[in-house]
Chains A and B, each alone.
Chain A
Amino acid sequence: MTQAMLEVKGIDVFYGASQILFGVDLTVEKGQTMALLGRNGAGKSTTFKAIAGIAPPRRGEINLAGVTVSGRKPYRIARAGIGYVPEDRQVFPEHSIEDNLIIGTKKGPNGEDYWTIERIYEVFPILAGMRTRMAGKLSGGEQQMLTIARTLMGNPEILLLDEPSEGLAPIIVQAIGSLIKQLREMGVTILLAEQNMHFCLGIATHATVVDKGQIVYRDTIEGLRANDAIKQRYLAI
């Protein structure tokens, strides 16, 4: 019996009086790279914020490796092993690259300390060349790399990446894509929110589609690739 790494069970999320998510279910197994696909405004970021505890669900629950984490404060959810990388690349602009990494440093929930600054620089050679550069001075792609690296420094059990390709030039998107693939091959469990299906087809192992706050489809990435009806209906631009 395998236990899911992340289990989102029937969550309803509201912003004030307006309901955004309706009974969202989502499961990610250890080692998977799960794409959460959906159009603009479908509810991807809201799902992530619910998992991270920033927009706590009003109903339903969220489990990490069998332990309920919903209802906890965001910092406790992070310590439990959820590594949330928000969509708008929130680097600390007036800190250097290295200081951003230092701020993200913590042990994993079971004392894991796999990620060190040196290991980060091996995986992110771009960052290694400019350790003392202010994060605010980096390009969008470099900032995206840095936010991912900074969250990895906290040794999460699962990495939540919210639209890492958004607003980046195609060549940078490709670099981010190979980075995510590399992390997947290292065994990192990833949940990846995207509008850009083609980006996900190349790197994800599984896919879940969200539309108007509800889950409408889930399958392997090959299943999605072959399903023109779903692609047409929910993901065509």
Chain B
Amino acid sequence: MELEALAGCLSSMSCAVTQVSTGLIIGMLLFLVASGLSLIFGVLGVINFAHGSFYMIGAYFAFSAYQLTDSFTLAILSGALGVGIFGMAFERLFMSKVYGRDVLMQLLVCYAFILILDDMVKILYGAEYKLMGMPQTFALPPFQIAGGFIPSYYVFMIGISAVVGLVLWLGIAKTRFGKVVRAAAINPTMVGALGINTTLLYAFVFGVGSMLAGTAGALAAPIRTLTPGMGLSILIESFIVTVIGGMGSIVGAFIAALLIGLTRSFGSMGFPLFVDGMMFGIMALVLILKPSGLLGRPVH
């Protein structure tokens, strides 16, 4: 029955275009969050289980900044930079204390922050849903491609995310700083012996990773309902994305995020009860066929 709907949509250009655009925005948000998670893990070797909460506070920072200033640009910037700075402080004050310790210790520290941040949001904003609303700038007629409608904000969001992803990838692959970061991921002692302050480097990388989550939260604010706990589902999906794409690989995260985004958007039409199952199924399949992920390096 629903599968028929899916087949029908796939055979109609306009429906397919709409669903693809929905899949792309889900995928791009996931990509931003997952690439931050993956970057932090790749360089520091820790998993930031509080990453979903960083996404959440990015959204709330943007919400507040928008309420105060009425400027969407400032809203995005405060989500991105606010969470970036918050992440750096979190790394210095808490995360750095559990490096090299049991992963359970890291989980514990992060879980504490998930609870604290959720409660902070409840105290400051209340437990009920919040809506930021679509900024005036985007009150434009939707783009029309092959009969399908794409809201102008979607186009903006996909573009911004793509630019952020590209800058991140170029920064890591081509700049001296990116080369140092990749070297520090493999042999921090040697990087230190060459005169590089790895402590500062770790804090900075953690900050950039957090900033990606915050940016995603801010970009999501106009199109999602804001609630305490909104970070949980995106955290789980980000894990799925990093597992599929390969921990530490930005390009892998990009491909996997789009795959999951499209699975969600078409799946909710064709097999709404099995969307989550499908995502986990893809992950399981990748784990069986290539345990290190599509673009991850085998762990030795």
Pair from one complex: yes
Interface residues of A (CB under 8 A from B): 52, 54, 73-75, 78-79, 84, 86, 90, 92-95, 99, 102-106, 150-151, 154
Assuming the contacts A75-B198, A93-B186, asked whether A99 and B179 have C-beta atoms less than 8 A apart, the reply is: yes
What residues of chain B lie closer than 8 Å to A93, measured between beta carbons?
186
The answer, yes or no, to whether B196 is at the interface (CB within 8 Å) is: yes
CB within 8 Å of A: which of B178-223?
Answer: 179-180, 182-183, 186-187, 189-198
- Chain A residue nearest to B200 in the complex (CB): A75
- Report whether A75 and B192 are in contact in the complex, using a CB–CB cutoff of 8 Å: yes
Measured CB to CB, the closest approach of chain A to B177, in angstroms, equals 10
Assuming the contacts A90-B187, A92-B187, A94-B186, asked whether A105 and B192 have C-beta atoms less than 8 A apart, the reply is: no
What residues of chain A lie closer than 8 Å to B180, measured between beta carbons?
103
Assuming the contacts A86-B190, A103-B176, asked whether A79 and B183 have C-beta atoms less than 8 A apart, the reply is: no
- Report whether A78 and B192 are in contact in the complex, using a CB–CB cutoff of 8 Å: yes
Assuming the contacts A75-B198, A102-B176, A105-B176, asked whether A84 and B183 have C-beta atoms less than 8 A apart, the reply is: no
- Report whether B193 and A94 are in contact in the complex, using a CB–CB cutoff of 8 Å: no
Interface residues of B (CB under 8 A from A): 176, 179-180, 182-183, 186-187, 189-198
What residues of chain A lie closer than 8 Å to B191, measured between beta carbons?
103
List 17 other contacts, CB 8 Å, given A92-B182, A103-B191. A54-B193, A73-B192, A74-B192, A78-B192, A78-B193, A78-B195, A79-B195, A86-B190, A90-B189, A92-B190, A94-B186, A102-B179, A103-B176, A103-B183, A106-B194, A150-B194, A154-B194
Q: For the complex, give the distance between the alpha carbons of A154 and B2 in Å.
A: 64
Assuming the contacts A90-B187, A103-B176, A105-B176, asked whether A151 and B194 have C-beta atoms less than 8 A apart, the reply is: yes
Q: Which 10 A-B pairs have the closest CB atoms?
A: A78-B195, A92-B183, A74-B192, A90-B190, A79-B195, A75-B192, A84-B193, A106-B195, A75-B197, A104-B194
- Report whether A86 and B193 are in contact in the complex, using a CB–CB cutoff of 8 Å: yes
Measured CB to CB, the closest approach of chain B to A120, in angstroms, equals 14
What residues of chain A lie closer than 8 Å to B176, measured between beta carbons?
102-103, 105
- Chain A residue nearest to B183 in the complex (CB): A92
- Report whether A74 and B193 are in contact in the complex, using a CB–CB cutoff of 8 Å: yes
Q: For the complex, give the distance between the alpha carbons of A84 and B194 in Å.
A: 8
Measured CB to CB, the closest approach of chain A to B295, in angstroms, equals 14
Assuming the contacts A54-B189, A90-B187, asked whether A95 and B179 have C-beta atoms less than 8 A apart, the reply is: yes
Which of A74, A95, A105 neighbours the largest number of chain B CB atoms within 10 Å of its CB?
Answer: A74
Measured CB to CB, the closest approach of chain A to B71, in angstroms, equals 40
Which of B180, B186, B190, B198 neighbours the largest number of chain A CB atoms within 10 Å of its CB?
Answer: B190
What residues of chain A lie closer than 8 Å to B190, measured between beta carbons?
86, 90, 92
Measured CB to CB, the closest approach of chain B to A100, in angstroms, equals 8
- Report whether B193 and A95 are in contact in the complex, using a CB–CB cutoff of 8 Å: no
- Chain B residue nearest to A74 in the complex (CB): B192
What residues of chain B lie closer than 8 Å to A154, measured between beta carbons?
194-195
Q: For the complex, give the distance between the alpha carbons of A102 and B182 in Å.
A: 13
Measured CB to CB, the closest approach of chain B to A62, in angstroms, equals 15
Measured CB to CB, the closest approach of chain A to B42, in angstroms, equals 12
Q: For the complex, give the distance between the alpha carbons of A86 and B192 in Å.
A: 12
Q: For the complex, give the distance between the alpha carbons of A106 and B183 in Å.
A: 16
Assuming the contacts A90-B187, A90-B190, A92-B186, asked whether A103 and B197 have C-beta atoms less than 8 A apart, the reply is: no
Measured CB to CB, the closest approach of chain B to A226, in angstroms, equals 36
Measured CB to CB, the closest approach of chain A to B292, in angstroms, equals 15
Measured CB to CB, the closest approach of chain B to A133, in angstroms, equals 15
Can you identify 15 A-B contacts, CB atoms within 8 angstroms?
A: A52-B193, A54-B189, A75-B197, A86-B190, A90-B190, A92-B186, A93-B186, A95-B179, A95-B182, A95-B183, A102-B179, A103-B176, A103-B194, A104-B194, A105-B176
What residues of chain A lie closer than 8 Å to B192, measured between beta carbons?
73-75, 78
Measured CB to CB, the closest approach of chain B to A70, in angstroms, equals 15
Q: For the complex, give the distance between the alpha carbons of A15 and B72 in Å.
A: 56
What residues of chain B lie closer than 8 Å to A54, measured between beta carbons?
189, 193
Measured CB to CB, the closest approach of chain A to B145, in angstroms, equals 41
Q: For the complex, give the distance between the alpha carbons of A171 and B129 in Å.
A: 74
What residues of chain A lie closer than 8 Å to B183, measured between beta carbons?
92, 95, 103
- Chain B residue nearest to A102 in the complex (CB): B176
Which of B180, B193, B196, B198 neighbours the largest number of chain A CB atoms within 10 Å of its CB?
Answer: B193
What residues of chain B lie closer than 8 Å to A74, measured between beta carbons?
189, 192-193
What residues of chain A lie closer than 8 Å to B179, measured between beta carbons?
95, 99, 102-103
Measured CB to CB, the closest approach of chain A to B130, in angstroms, equals 45
What residues of chain A lie closer than 8 Å to B186, measured between beta carbons?
92-94
Q: For the complex, give the distance between the alpha carbons of A94 and B191 in Å.
A: 14
Measured CB to CB, the closest approach of chain B to A186, in angstroms, equals 21
Q: For the complex, give the distance between the alpha carbons of A105 and B182 in Å.
A: 16
Q: For the complex, give the distance between the alpha carbons of A150 and B183 in Å.
A: 13
- Chain A residue nearest to B179 in the complex (CB): A99
- Chain A residue nearest to B198 in the complex (CB): A75
Assuming the contacts A94-B182, A95-B179, asked whether A75 and B195 have C-beta atoms less than 8 A apart, the reply is: yes
